[in-house]
Amino acid sequence: MSYADFISLGPLITLCAAAVIAMLLVAVWRNHRLVYAFTVLAFLMGLMAIVPAIRYIPHLVPPLLVIDEFSLFNTGLILVAGFIIVLLSFNYFEEREERKEEYYLLLLLATIGAMVLVVSRHFMSLFLGLEILSISLYGLIAYLRARERSDEAGIKYLMLAALSSAFLLFGMALIYAFTGHMDFPGIGAALRQAGYLPVSVMAGFGLMLIGVGFKLGVVPFHMWAPDIYEGAPLPVAAFIATVSKGGMLVLLIRFYQDIHGNDYPMLWWIVAIVAVSSMFVGNWLALMQQNVKRILAYSSIAHMGYILVAFLSGVQTGLEAIAFYLVAYFITSIGAFGVVIVMSSSQQDAETVADYKGLFWRYPWVATIFTAMLLSLAGIPLTAGFIGKFYVVMAGVHGHQWVLLFMLAANSVIGLYYYIRLIAAMFNTPAAGEWVAVKPALPVAGNITLALLMILLVGLGVYPTGMMQLIQQMMKILV
C-alpha cells in the first residue's frame, strides 16, 4: 500500500480504526458519555481526513476502489449525516437502553459500509460494503430489544436484506459469466465491444436491480420501509433514510455511468417504470397514514422516485441535480427525524399525527423547525428542498422527459396534501382536555443540532450558489 493509497483512503481508515477502538473501549470501560464523545470525535477526524485526500484525486486503488471528487463529496456527505445522527442519538438512548454503548460501534460500522459503497468500482467491494452496511443495520434496527416492534423490524430487515443480497449476487454472477469482468469499467467496455445486451446480462441487471432497489426502498421493493421506519430506533431510521439510501444511490450512479447505461433503452425503461411507480405508490400510501414515521417512510419512497427522474434525464445537469437533491434530502430527513426524536419521551415515541396537534402553541420553536423541514420535503421556496426540486425538474426539462415531469408535478401536488395536513395539525388548536400526554425531553444538544440544520436548510434555499459550484466541479469527473 503506497503512501498515496493511505492518504486517499484516510477517511475510511480513520473510521475503521475508530470502530476497533470503540469496541475495545466498550470492553474495557462501559461509559455512555465516553463512547459518545469518542464517536463524535471519530466522525470529525474522518471528515478532516478528507482534506489531505483531495490532493491525490483522482486516485485508483485497483481493482476495487476509486477515490475521485464524486466519491469524496459523497463520503463527506455521509460523514456529516452520520455525525449529526450521532449528536441526536445521545439523549435518545440515554433515556431508553441500559446497554447503549454498542450502538455507536454498530453505527460506525454501518457508516463504513456506506463509505465503501461510494468508493467502490468493483463487484467485490460493492458486495463487501453492502454487507457491512446491512449486517450492522440488523443490529441497529433491533437495538431496543425491549420493544416488540423493534425485534419484528430487525428480523424483517434481516430476511429481506439477505434475500436481496442473494439476488444481487446471482445478478453479478450472470454479468460476470458473460463479460468476464467484475470491475465496472471492464463490464462497460465488454458490453460496448459486444454491441448489444444479451439476455443473460439483461437478467443480471434485473436481478441486481432487485438488490439495489431494495436498499433504495423503491417500488416494488419498498414493502420493508414503513415497518422498519416504524420499528427502528428513531436515529437508526434517520440513518437508513439518508446514509444507507444515499450510499446505494451513489453506487448506482457510478455503475450506470461506467457501463454506459444510457446506451440501453431497455434499462432506461425499467428504471423509468420504477421511478413512476415509486412516486405514485409512495405518495398515495403516505396519504393514508396516521403515523408520522410511516408518512416519512412513504414520502422517502416518493423522493427516491423524484431522484430517479433526474437520474433518467441523461444529462450532466441530472447528476448535479441528484447531488443537490441528496444534500437537501439529507438535511431535511435528518431534521424531520430529529424533531420526532426530541419530541419523543422515554416511554413513547411521538409518532401519531395527534401527538403533533397544537404543537405550534406549545413548543413554537420545534414546530417551526418541523414546518420548515416539511415544507422543504414538499419543495416550497426559501428551503433547500425547493432548489433541489427545481434542479431535478430542470434536468428533466433539459433531457426532454416531459411525461416523467408531469408525473412528478402531479405527485408533488399529492405529496403536498399530507405534508400540509401535518403542518395543519401543528397549527390546530386542540379542544380543552385533548392535550396529548407526550412530554418531550428537549435536550440542548438536540436543539442546537436542529437549529443548525434549519439554518442550513434556509441557507441553501436562499443562496444555493456555493453548493452548486461545489457540485458542478465534482460532477465533471464523471462524464
**Based on CB atoms, which residue is closest to another protein, 240 or 378?**
378
Residues 317 and 477: beta-carbon distance below 8 Å: no
**Based on CB atoms, which residue is closest to another protein, 221 or 419?**
419
Shortest Å distance, C-beta 468 to another protein: 5
**Based on CB atoms, which residue is closest to another protein, 336 or 425?**
425
Q: Which of 423, 420, 454, 453 is nearest to 283 (CA)?
A: 420
With a CB cutoff of 8 Å and minimum separation 6, the contacts of 401 are 309, 312, 313
Cα 416 from chain centre: 21
**Based on CB atoms, which residue is closest to another protein, 174 or 315?**
315
Angstrom distance (rounded) from CA 393 to CA 448: 33
Residues 247 and 78: beta-carbon distance below 8 Å: yes
**Based on CB atoms, which residue is closest to another protein, 193 or 465?**
465
Shortest Å distance, C-beta 191 to another protein: 31
Shortest Å distance, C-beta 87 to another protein: 28
**Based on CB atoms, which residue is closest to another protein, 41 or 413?**
413
Shortest Å distance, C-beta 286 to another protein: 15
The SS3 assignment for 103 reads: helix
Shortest Å distance, C-beta 470 to another protein: 11
**Based on CB atoms, which residue is closest to another protein, 247 or 461?**
461
Shortest Å distance, C-beta 307 to another protein: 17
With a CB cutoff of 8 Å and minimum separation 6, the contacts of 315 are 395, 398, 399
* Positions in the binding site for another protein (CB under 8 A): 361, 375, 380-382, 386, 390, 393-394, 397-398, 405-406, 409, 412-413, 416-417, 420-421, 424, 427-428, 463-465, 468-469, 472
Shortest Å distance, C-beta 51 to another protein: 25
Shortest Å distance, C-beta 473 to another protein: 11
Shortest Å distance, C-beta 409 to another protein: 4
**Based on CB atoms, which residue is closest to another protein, 112 or 475?**
475
**Based on CB atoms, which residue is closest to another protein, 259 or 457?**
457
> 319 is written with which cell numbers?
447528476
